[in-house]
Structure 1
Amino acid sequence: MKKLGVLLALLVLFGTLATGTVGAVYIPSSGDFGVYIFGSSSNVTISDGRLVLDATGSEYVRAWLNVTEFQAIEFDYQAYANNVLSGVSFMSGSSGVGLTFIEYDTGSIEVRKISGANYPQYDGSSDTIGGSIDAGTSFRNKYVHFRIEFQQRGTEWDLLVYKDGFLLYNLTNVQQHIDPLSIEKVVFGVPAVGIGNNLGWQGKVEFNNIQIYEVEYHIQLSLKDALSNQPLTGVTVKENGNVIGTLVDGGSLDLTKGTHTLTFEKSGYWSVTKTIDVQGDMTVSVEMYPDSAAFKFENFPSDISIPENTIYTLTFTLSPISTDAAYNTYLSLSGLSNVLEVQKDGQAVSPESGKYYLGDISGPTQISIKFKAGAVGQHGFTLSFESHDAIMSKTYTTTKSVTYTVEPLPFSVQMPSEWQVGQNELRISESSGQSYLITAVLKDSQGNEVWSDSHAFSPYEAYSFSVNVPSEGQYTLELQWNGQVATYDVTVNPAITLTTKQLTVEKGGEGTIVLHFKNPSSDVQYYTIKVSGGFLPSEINQSISVGPLTEKDVSIAFAVPEDLTYDAYELQVQVLQGNATVFQDKVAVSIGDSGGFTLFGGSSGNTWLWLGVGGLGLLALVGLARRR
């Protein structure tokens, strides 16, 4: 419980009140004393820690302290009568004249008064702690110490009154009378009320060492390293420059209601100042950055969850902890493969040798990283910001680990085992028990839409889209639903390829063109192959079929004329499916010399010359053998 040292401001206006003042009122700001007086002649003195009420007459003189919440109040008080009319008994039970030393103003709740005298006691029949003294009895030079305290018991409050350290009485279950958390003011006073016929009283009451103990709340603190999220120990907490605790992660402070500005300090870390509004028990999270880092991350998302195959944009604010450490900044990404784009304040940043140059960061800067989610499961990557001081003599590194969860789509997707030109079946089955619209869009490598279709799915419904692929190449398939987009890469490999792009033939010989056919569908595919041009006297036509889910090579033979003018020709190859051309290409044909034995290479015209030379050499060897 935190003690509030009450500063009793000297109110000059009410330091000495003139005789006959009636109804003078002072309403103070919170924390000050106010005085309102009814009486014929009164004197109120208020100074630091001391309140004196000196009254003459038959009215009530009292002063109050504005408070919002408190749990206990302590003070010493002394009272004495200077002149009392004879035959009058003071402070005798609830009907006697007593000293009201605390009164609670609670609005609609009935005011409770606790009064005391020389030997105060609670008689159980009223709201007065009473006693009795004879006329002329005084308490001069005798101080009595009182403490009035509220103690919470479950949802109820008990009111305890201590006199000189001993429990005077315990009034339980007082919440039906008063809630200490709703008290608006505490009143100190001295009555000068006559009993009987115009009886009066002249006396003095002194309050000394007044202390208010405010209600405190339990503040639990989460103290973490902002970059690693590891718990911290030995964190010093200060308020108004004063140390109020040294804590570990999960430790706590007791603070009064209202606004508190706290400073958290730890060796090796930048200090953190945080303002909190205490209205009850609460948990406060504090992230501290190592002093080797230059930036702090603000508005950084937590618990990142991404549906599989969707594109996610991680957006946060990068703020310099010190602008002297935020020059020439680079961003590096580690462990993130499908990066699509990095932006700084909405402008795309191109990578340079695997890094993104952000320049000087002088204030809060928005950073966005767009990437495609991977497979279902837990994933992570690392952000690293490298910066320098103004003269590039010191390097700061701010590293942040990012974890995210990839969750299954609310529907299952069954794609063709191999995409082909033409119609392809895409089957989607709703699996979450929800109803929503799914739009399927096929885009080419330039981002242009080449096909789209939509279907409104009922819970657990299955539906097949017929995706029309116009030609071979690379595509992106998007599945759009509820503001989200799942993307898939689609590659349409050629169904027909020309194996013999170049070949060499001889005059009067034959040549063969080979084409490879692949059928990824479940239907038989029929084709017509046409070869024309070059030295061919007429077009070659050949019809073929390819079975479901099979591949095969098809050879087209042709004859080479004897009388050719050129040593190279070009043949046109065309494949039709029905009346539509689905493939066409060219074959480069080189013409070689016709037949004959060739020794040591060269043309056939030199063959006999080489044979003659070889024969002479052989005869020479035979002659040498005989001479031996």
Structure 2
Amino acid sequence: MIKRYFIFLLLLMSVLGSVNATTPTVPETCTPTDFYVVLDDSSMTSELITTQLQAIDFNIVAPSVSGVENNRIYFSSKSDLARFCAILSYTNPSLPFSGAFSVYTEDGFTPVSVLKIYGTYAPEAWVYSDLTINSSKSQLAYIYSQTSNGQYSGDSISNNGVQFFYYSGGSTAVNGAQYDEIVLLSNNVLTYGCKGGGYDPRVGRVMSSLVVFDYIEYEYSGSLTLTLTELYTPPEQGNISIYSAAGTEVYESSYLLGTTDNGGLLDIQLPMGEHTLKFIKDGYWDVFKTITVSENTSEIYVTMAPSNAIFQVEKEFSGNIYPNSIARLSLDVTPVKTAYATKLRVSGVEVNKVYYNTQELPKAADGSYIIGDISSPQNIVIDFKTTSSWGERTFTVELSATDIEGTAYTNLETINYNVLELPFLFEAPDSWAIGTNEVTLTDMSGESYSVLLVLYDESGTEKWSSSTNLLEYCEYTFEVPIEDAGEYILELNAKSGSVKSYYSVEIIEPVSLVSDFLTANPGKVATVQFKISNPTESVKYYKASLSCPFYNDTIDKTFSIAPGTVDKTVDMSFEVPEDLEMEYYQLTLEVFDEGKTDPIYSGHVVLTISNASLLIASVPGGNTTLIILASAVMVIAGTFAALRLKK
């Protein structure tokens, strides 16, 4: 009989022990739930986590744990998760694992605020203070409270006027601990009351930890001094604007953050830091993208690849895009499966260069760029020339490839970009000419900044450069000297290189001599001939001056040329003096734009003085030998004609 009674007592003690257990029990088989924490220390094994968790004393109420797996601790309910996030006890007012964890609920990653509240009072009277708590919405909150009262002391806590916690004693001190679930309004008031027994150690003391799955703001007022300590503060959040195909679902882990609207936009908030998002849409390949959320609003652009395409393509432009510049488009290309014989084509824009993994690709005869096989993520960079005007622009990039079975795939990517308006007004000559050309910049932005102009010839050699600090709403004129005809590029850099623009400059040889040799007889009229063009859209006016060593004054001629005229021949005639002593003279021809003092052309003609028969006329550019031969032919022909007449 005694033996059976002893066994019964042992069984009873074991039952009571399990009922009053304050350490959590971790099941051998993990059952994942929506309520869990992820420990910051990723090196901890499940066994180590379980050992430490089962050693924690949660005082009166331990959370119900449904399992430990992969650095995660799962809980049976949201209330159990909240108990894990609260202080352990009055004597151990700390968080499990030192609060080094992130919290997840049915809403995915969840911001949590844990506020420790401590009040104490010695005088023999009740005093109160109101703790006002503001949150984003009305919701359930969880509060663990415990007293450490002396004799004749007491404590109370009310939520919006409804008391849920009260302990007070007389000659015998009364203490207790509670874990409560309360309704927290968006503007909520917790009232703390405390009274003492008149002196120490007859002091009323109460400590609580309030767990709210939200961001909160708080303040208190009243006669009872409250010490407020944030034990766990949710991370600051940043605003994210996601642009993708309409109806794209955005997930973090298994939690749906939202779905893009009909315009392809989804605005969300995420805690600052790194997040990996998953984008899902029927008929498209899933896309994973890791982003970093900061205090500034971030814009995320995600391109969804149709399931009949072989590549997932992410597009990004480098810097702002301005008129007459070279813009850079970076394509991060990820093959869904190994792609063979990949080719790139670009249409709708003038391509400057294409790079594949930093290597420049040549353009094939069919206009494509041959990339080859792609089995892993690669980078393609396209440098292209922008339009001369600002506004929204678009072009197309085509990626074609086959899989190992020979099935053909085509990615057709529409590239939209915005050409920004230049911060200044750029004025240049309608037609550039040899000599000095004026380029005027006028600021339109209301800011001052540095400007650098560089002139390159067609081989890329720098021919001239100049810089200035352009003041707000002011203008500055550069004088660009060009010495020779040819093709040039004028590069304009402003705002420390953040604004770049390029302008093509073509200088057509405006004047060319018909011949730089001339033969003439003394006393006869000689003519220097040259050709001149007018590539502009307006009438051009010129003055030609011919300098002869045997004349004191130049021989001048003014003339005009119609728009678009090419190689118009102009004659400069003069009479050769009869008393010249030299056989050769060098003449100088200069051609001027109207009203200009610097010539657009300067050249030399060698004049040969011939004393041959007067039958030899002065021929512009004539060759003396040819003229003599021609004269001989004429004499012979005349002789034959005379002999025939005699017969």
User: Relative contact order, CA 8 A, sep 6+: which one is greater?
Assistant: 1
Code of the residue aligned with 1:426 in structure 2: it is V
Query: For residues 380 and 573 of structure 1, do their structure 2 counterparts lie closer, same or farther at Cα, with a shift above 3 Å needed?
Result: farther
Residue equivalent to 2:354: 342
Q: Distance in 2 between matches of 1:491 and 1:47?
A: 79
Residue equivalent to 2:475: 462
Q: Distance in 2 between matches of 1:383 and 1:63?
A: 51
After TM superposition, give the deviation of residue 264 of structure 1 in Å.
3.1
Q: Distance in 2 between matches of 1:490 and 1:63?
A: 72
Match runs of 1:586-605 below 5 Å: 587=621, 589=623, 591=627, 593-594=630-631
Q: Distance in 2 between matches of 1:45 and 1:330?
A: 59
After TM superposition, give the deviation of residue 479 of structure 1 in Å.
1.7
Q: Distance in 1 between matches of 2:420 and 2:360?
A: 28
1:127 counterpart = 2:165: yes
Residue equivalent to 1:300: 316
Code of the residue aligned with 2:23 in structure 1: it is Y
Is the CA contact (8 Å cut-off) linking 1:150 and 1:180 kept in structure 2? no
Q: Distance in 1 between matches of 2:301 and 2:642?
A: 101
Deviates more, 1:414-423 or 1:247-256: 247-256
Q: Distance in 2 between matches of 1:45 and 1:554?
A: 107
Is the CA contact (8 Å cut-off) linking 2:364 and 2:370 kept in structure 1? yes
1:105 counterpart = 2:144: yes
After TM superposition, give the deviation of residue 420 of structure 1 in Å.
2.0
Is the CA contact (8 Å cut-off) linking 2:157 and 2:166 kept in structure 1? yes
1:582 counterpart = 2:602: yes
Structure 1 gaps of 5+ residues are 1-13, 50-61, 73-101, 115-121, 130-147, 159-175, 184-216, 226-230, 531-537, 560-569, 614-628
After TM superposition, give the deviation of residue 517 of structure 1 in Å.
5.3
Residue equivalent to 2:193: none
Q: Distance in 2 between matches of 1:612 and 1:403?
A: 92
Code of the residue aligned with 2:546 in structure 1: it is T
Q: Distance in 2 between matches of 1:275 and 1:15?
A: 56
Residue equivalent to 1:625: none
* The one of 23, 28, 40 aligned to 1:26: 23
Query: For residues 609 and 408 of structure 1, do their structure 2 counterparts lie closer, same or farther at Cα, with a shift above 3 Å needed?
Result: farther
After TM superposition, give the deviation of residue 36 of structure 1 in Å.
5.1
Code of the residue aligned with 1:289 in structure 2: it is A
Q: Distance in 1 between matches of 2:270 and 2:493?
A: 52
Match runs of 1:175-574 below 5 Å: 178=210, 180-181=212-213, 224-225=244-245, 231-232=246-247, 264=280, 266-267=282-283, 269-272=284-287, 287-298=303-314, 300-301=316-317, 305-323=320-338, 326-337=339-350, 339-353=351-365, 354-376=367-389, 377-390=391-404, 393-482=406-495, 483=497, 484-499=499-514, 512-516=527-531, 527-528=545-546, 543-545=554-556, 553-556=570-573
Q: Distance in 2 between matches of 1:548 and 1:151?
A: 96
Code of the residue aligned with 2:369 in structure 1: it is Y
Residue equivalent to 1:56: none
Is the CA contact (8 Å cut-off) linking 2:63 and 2:81 kept in structure 1? no
SS at match of 2:144: coil
Q: Deviations over 1:105-135 (max 9, x none)?
A: 3899x99999xxxxxxx99555379xxxxxx
Residue equivalent to 1:624: none
Is the CA contact (8 Å cut-off) linking 2:586 and 2:604 kept in structure 1? yes
Match runs of 1:134-145 below 5 Å: none
After TM superposition, give the deviation of residue 522 of structure 1 in Å.
11
Is the CA contact (8 Å cut-off) linking 1:238 and 1:264 kept in structure 2? no
Is the CA contact (8 Å cut-off) linking 1:421 and 1:471 kept in structure 2? yes
Residue equivalent to 2:84: 66
Q: Deviations over 1:380-418 (max 9, x none)?
A: 110001111235x22111111112222222111222232
TM-score (norm 1): 0.53
Aligned-residue sequence identity (percent) comes to 23
Residue equivalent to 1:190: none
Is the CA contact (8 Å cut-off) linking 1:476 and 1:487 kept in structure 2? yes
Query: For residues 522 and 611 of structure 1, do their structure 2 counterparts lie closer, same or farther at Cα, with a shift above 3 Å needed?
Result: closer
Code of the residue aligned with 2:554 in structure 1: it is S
Code of the residue aligned with 1:582 in structure 2: it is S
After TM superposition, give the deviation of residue 328 of structure 1 in Å.
0.9
Residue equivalent to 1:197: none
Q: Deviations over 1:179-223 (max 9, x none)?
A: 53179xxxxxxxxxxxxxxxxxxxxxxxxxxxxxxxxx9x99978
Code of the residue aligned with 2:399 in structure 1: it is F
Q: Distance in 2 between matches of 1:113 and 1:283?
A: 46
Is the CA contact (8 Å cut-off) linking 1:223 and 1:248 kept in structure 2? no
SS at match of 2:393: strand
Q: Distance in 2 between matches of 1:262 and 1:15?
A: 53
Is the CA contact (8 Å cut-off) linking 2:25 and 2:65 kept in structure 1? no
After TM superposition, give the deviation of residue 540 of structure 1 in Å.
9.9
Structure 2 gaps of 5+ residues are 1-10, 27-35, 38-49, 68-79, 86-102, 108-140, 148-153, 168-179, 191-207, 216-236, 563-568, 577-583, 592-596, 607-620
After TM superposition, give the deviation of residue 348 of structure 1 in Å.
0.8
SS at match of 2:316: coil
Aligned residue pairs total: 443
Q: Distance in 2 between matches of 1:313 and 1:261?
A: 26
Q: Cα RMSD between the aligned structures?
A: 6.3
TM-score (norm 2): 0.52
Q: Distance in 1 between matches of 2:508 and 2:299?
A: 59
After TM superposition, give the deviation of residue 318 of structure 1 in Å.
1.6
Q: Deviations over 1:544-598 (max 9, x none)?
A: 4465987882334799xxxxxxxxxx99975358999823589475547459999
Residue equivalent to 2:173: none
SS at match of 1:66: helix
SS at match of 2:371: strand
Give the number of the structure whose alpha-carbon radius of gyration is greater.
1
Q: Distance in 2 between matches of 1:256 and 1:422?
A: 61
SS at match of 2:570: strand
Q: Distance in 2 between matches of 1:111 and 1:398?
A: 71
